[in-house]
Structure 1
Amino acid sequence: MASSQPQTVPCAYKTGRTLGQGTYAVVKEAVHIKTGQYYACKVISRKLMEGREHMVRNEIAALKRVSQGHRSIVTLVDYFETMNNLYLVTDLCVGGELFDRICERGSYYEKDAAHLVRTITDAVVYLHDQGIVHRDLKPENLLFRDKTEESDLLIADFGLSRVVDDEKITVLSTTCGTPGYMAPEIFKKTGHGKPVDMWAIGVITYFLLCGYTPFDRHTTMEEMQAIINADYRFEPSMYWQDVSDNAKDFINQLLTIDPGTRLTAKQALQHPWLQSAAPNAKASEGQAEQKDLLPDIKSAFNAKRTFRKAVNGIRLINRLRTNEHVPNKDEIEKLRQTIKEAEQESDNLDQVLPAQA
């Protein structure tokens, strides 16, 4: 009779520094003892994942199906189990997250954004052709393999991905993803599939062109309502006046409430905006006159980040009052400093977070 216990595998890796940590897992740098090759090792606690093991199985199934099939998708190198943990060994991406790399550049133009989005979309075409929905596309899950200028950009973190072997839209129903990048049909729980990845690409594109997301609001509930209604604008004009109509049209065709009218990944690749970023594409006259978007993007991103600090400070004050706790001098000074920073970094934060009726 075969044992129901998982096979104990002799450890072939030595783990090092922690790269990231989540609710159920920790990601560590790992080196293969025999080859000396470095990887990322996701260590998943069986105890914490009890009752949710199917999530890991889904991730493994998705990664096995697409590993080594596309240069812009992270590869599952190894997988093994012990009594206490599950281990997923993947490519080690040391080049940093997408937006961090953009901010480190000396300049950044619309054509650069188009090239990045084309790379992401091309990888999603492959995923969808293989029957995989990622369901958590966002800048934090787009990583560079190394720090070189020519580094591949990789789609990572398949923890929420699912295998769907048909073209039906209403195949999945669980609420998942990161709120700001989730499609309306996920919130509505009307069933979802591959189109949710295309909505996310629309949000990512918007973000890459201005430094803030289209549905960012004061509260998660307001953000969710804005997403359900596709309530976004290309505002304030100071961040969008130098962005082409083609780029805006590309976003508009992805951020549609009806998933059936949303561009598919293959259709998105044929859109004029991404065609302009295709290999051997001829440069248009407008491309030579493109404005450097980096200063405005950094300004908007920093203002948004500081605005959130101020909002969180106000929420903390309200919580303290509710709990009948009187803030001490240090707490009050810290909150005042946070709000002061918000005022200094942006004279008019409403321009970055426009009120949208």
Structure 2
Amino acid sequence: MASQGQQPQPQIQPCRYKTGKTLGAGSYSVVKECVHIDTGRYYAAKVINKRLMAGREHMVRNEIAVLKRVSMGHQNILTLVDYFETMNNLYLVTDLALGGELFDRICRKGSYYESDAADLIRATLSAVAYLHDHGIVHRDLKPENLLFRTPEDNADLLIADFGLSRIMDEEQFHVLTTTCGTPGYMAPEIFKKSGHGKPVDVWAIGVISYFLLCGYTPFDRDSNLEEMQAILVADYSFTPMEYWRGVSLTARQFIKKCLTIDPTKRMTAHEALSHPWIAGPESGRGEEDLLPTVKKNFNARRTLHKAIDTVRAINQLRAGGMGMMDGALSKQPSRVNDQVENSKPKDEGDVHADGQMDVDMKDADSGAMDPRGNGMGQSEAQIEEQKRRINATQQGLWENRGNAQAA
């Protein structure tokens, strides 16, 4: 019996889940496959490192609140099955979406038509309308957050990742002001910081629709700044014409209504569901197989952006070398291993039935590079050698870095 004035110790309960392979990783969390020990059912567990989330715990609490409000309410929304916390981590257990991401699924198809794109957007819009009806704005809609429940052809498409979502209490406030989201899918009002709400999701639907019909986004530019400038004035077009020749005018009109700069004049999710491209007959849609064009454009732009990133990295290498005096930092010990190691969630209190809870924060700190890896203190010859290897391999800036450092 605890003495008077002594706080009772928290009760320790055995974990009901056993984790398996890693499905994905972010800056402060990993997603792992897990199985419920008693039922044998498989789920996905989002493991969130409390230390890395220090000062931002409200984001996780908010995500839980959002999922609790909408779970089991719509077939196209990921369901929150369970949530709990240990001394070091927070856990969100959700549906296990085994069907993969939206665009990966499209690329595996033998053919892909405008009607297929309309069906995908209809399912997404239906879920978005449900969210909006329940006072929730997602704020991070993009193809990567649209997952299929199973590998079957008729599998449900699920909206996932509610980390940036917000519950909008209409009686207390009407707009949000935080800049958030993925740049290419963000609405103008987010960049303007003039206040935003549910219309940002419809803008994102317009960007996704454009992407699904041609393989690239409407505001695709060489930098985030140029992308933002294009978004602010809705600077986009349905060009080159050969990529849009097989797409109906109705589809383009739908995109235009979604990508309206003024959020008060933008379609609502329910209005979008009633648009002819979504609700009308398939006979009004293009009949050309879009898969070859979509795949070609997607792969071409992915290669282009990799090349642009490589050039920027080389320029940073040069700038780093020019800014050094006598290689002052080149002999400093690397701290990359320490930083990555310290970013891992600790195991104490997180033991499962097998006695392990291994969580790898693979990209926990994008700045965790050793000084020489950033070009500091390197000679011109060393930088040129790195440039040569980059151009030769096209497999990443840091491949075989250890050999270069030993040279």
- TM-score greater than 0.5 by the shorter chain: yes
Q: Deviations over 1:86-106 (max 9, x none)?
A: 110000001000000000000
CA contact (8 A) 1:168 1:193 kept: no
- 1:114 corresponds in structure 2 to 118
Q: Residues 301 and 169 from structure 1, CA distance in 2 versus in 1: closer, same or farther, beyond 3 angstroms?
A: farther
Query: How far apart, in 2, do the equivalents of 1:4 and 1:155 lie?
Result: 41
- 1:262 corresponds in structure 2 to 266
* 1:145 paired to 2:200: no
CA contact (8 A) 1:8 1:83 kept: no
Query: How far apart, in 2, do the equivalents of 1:235 and 1:6 lie?
Result: 62
1:310 to 272, 284, 307: 307
CA contact (8 A) 2:18 2:34 kept: yes
Q: Deviations over 1:199-221 (max 9, x none)?
A: 00000000000000011101110
* 1:321 paired to 2:324: no
Query: How far apart, in 2, do the equivalents of 1:193 and 1:165 lie?
Result: 11
CA contact (8 A) 2:168 2:174 kept: no
* 1:331 paired to 2:382: no
Query: How far apart, in 1, do the equivalents of 2:129 and 2:172 lie?
Result: 16
Deviation of 1:55 after TM superposition, in Å, equals: 0.2
Unaligned runs of 5+ residues in structure 2 are: 322-377, 395-407
Q: Deviations over 1:19-74 (max 9, x none)?
A: 11111111110000000000000111111111101101110010000000000000
Query: How far apart, in 2, do the equivalents of 1:20 and 1:148 lie?
Result: 22
State how many pairs are aligned: 332
* Higher relative contact order (CA closer than 8 Å, sequence separation 6+): 2
Q: Percent identity?
A: 65
Q: Residues 120 and 6 from structure 1, CA distance in 2 versus in 1: closer, same or farther, beyond 3 angstroms?
A: farther
Deviation of 1:332 after TM superposition, in Å, equals: 2.9
Name the SS for the 1:323 alignment partner: helix
- 1:296 corresponds in structure 2 to 293
Query: How far apart, in 1, do the equivalents of 2:128 and 2:51 lie?
Result: 33
- 2:368 corresponds in structure 1 to none
Query: How far apart, in 2, do the equivalents of 1:47 and 1:147 lie?
Result: 36
Q: Which has the larger radius of gyration?
A: 2
Unaligned runs of 5+ residues in structure 1 are: 277-281, 340-357
1:90 to 94, 99, 108: 94
Deviation of 1:333 after TM superposition, in Å, equals: 3.0
* 1:104 paired to 2:101: no
Q: Deviations over 1:155-212 (max 9, x none)?
A: 0000111101339995211111111111111111001110010000000000000000
Query: How far apart, in 2, do the equivalents of 1:320 and 1:8 lie?
Result: 51
- 1:181 corresponds in structure 2 to 185
Amino acid at match of 2:140: D
> Normalising to structure 2: TM-score of the pair?
0.78
Query: How far apart, in 1, do the equivalents of 2:299 and 2:263 lie?
Result: 32
* Root mean square deviation of aligned Cα: 2.0
2:21 to 17, 22, 29: 17
* 1:211 paired to 2:215: yes
Q: Residues 329 and 169 from structure 1, CA distance in 2 versus in 1: closer, same or farther, beyond 3 angstroms?
A: same
